[in-house]
Amino acid sequence: MKKATQVSLAVAASLLISAPAAFAFHSGGVAECEGCHTMHNSLDGAAMTSATPQFQAGPYLLQGNDASSACLNCHQGSAGSYHISTADADMPAGTAPLQMTPGGDFGWLKKSYTFTVRGSAATNPGERHGHNIVAGDYGYVADATLTVAPGGSYPAANLACSSCHDPHGKYRRDATGAIATTGLPIKNSGSYNTSADPTTWGAVGVYRILGGIGYQPKSLAGSFGFTQQVPAAVAPSTYNRSEATTQTRVAYGNNMSEWCANCHTGLLRGSYTSGMGGLTHPAGNGAKLGATILANYNAYVKSGDMSGTSANSYNSLVPFEMGSTDYTAMKAVALNTDAQLGGADSNSNVNCLSCHRAHASGFASMLRYAHENEFMTIADASGNSIYDPNSTTSAVSQGLTAAEQQAAYYGRDATKFAPYQRLLCNKCHAKD
Note the pLDDT tens digit of each residue in 76-131.
999 988 999 999 999 999 999 999 999 999 999 999 999 999 999 999 999 999 99
pLDDT higher than 60, residue 266: yes
Cut 0.85: pTM above it: yes
Name 389's Cβ contacts closer than 8 Å, sequence gap at least 6. 397, 401, 402
pLDDT higher than 60, residue 17: no
Short-list 195, 316, 212, 321, CA closest to 256: 321
Short-list 87, 139, 130, CA closest to 108: 130
* 31 vs 12, residue with greater confidence: 31
Q: What are the b/e assignments for 127-143, b being 16+ CB within 10 Å? A: bbbbbbbbbebbebebb
pLDDT in tens, 318-373: 999 999 999 999 999 999 999 999 999 999 999 999 999 999 999 999 999 999 89
Sort residue 78 into left (φ over 0), alpha (ψ -120 to 50) or beta.
Answer: beta
CA count, 13 A, side-chain hemisphere, 163:
27
Q: How confident is the model at residue 19 (pLDDT cuts 50, 70, 90)?
A: very low
pLDDT in tens, 35-85: 899 999 999 999 988 899 999 999 999 999 999 999 999 999 999 889 999
Quote helix, strand, coil % in the chain, to nearest 5.
25, 15, 60
Reduced to 3 states (helix: H, G, I; strand: E, B; else coil), residue 256 is helix
Between CA 238 and CA 79 the distance in angstroms is: 12
Reduced to 3 states (helix: H, G, I; strand: E, B; else coil), residue 165 is strand
Between CA 362 and CA 409 the distance in angstroms is: 8
Short-list 21, 63, 12, CA closest to 240: 21
pLDDT higher than 70, residue 3: no
Residue 107 CB neighbour total at 10 angstroms = 29
Q: Report which residue type is found at 162.
A: S
Helix (H) / strand (E) element for 264: namely none
Select the highest-mean-pLDDT range: 8-22, 31-45, 176-190. Answer: 176-190
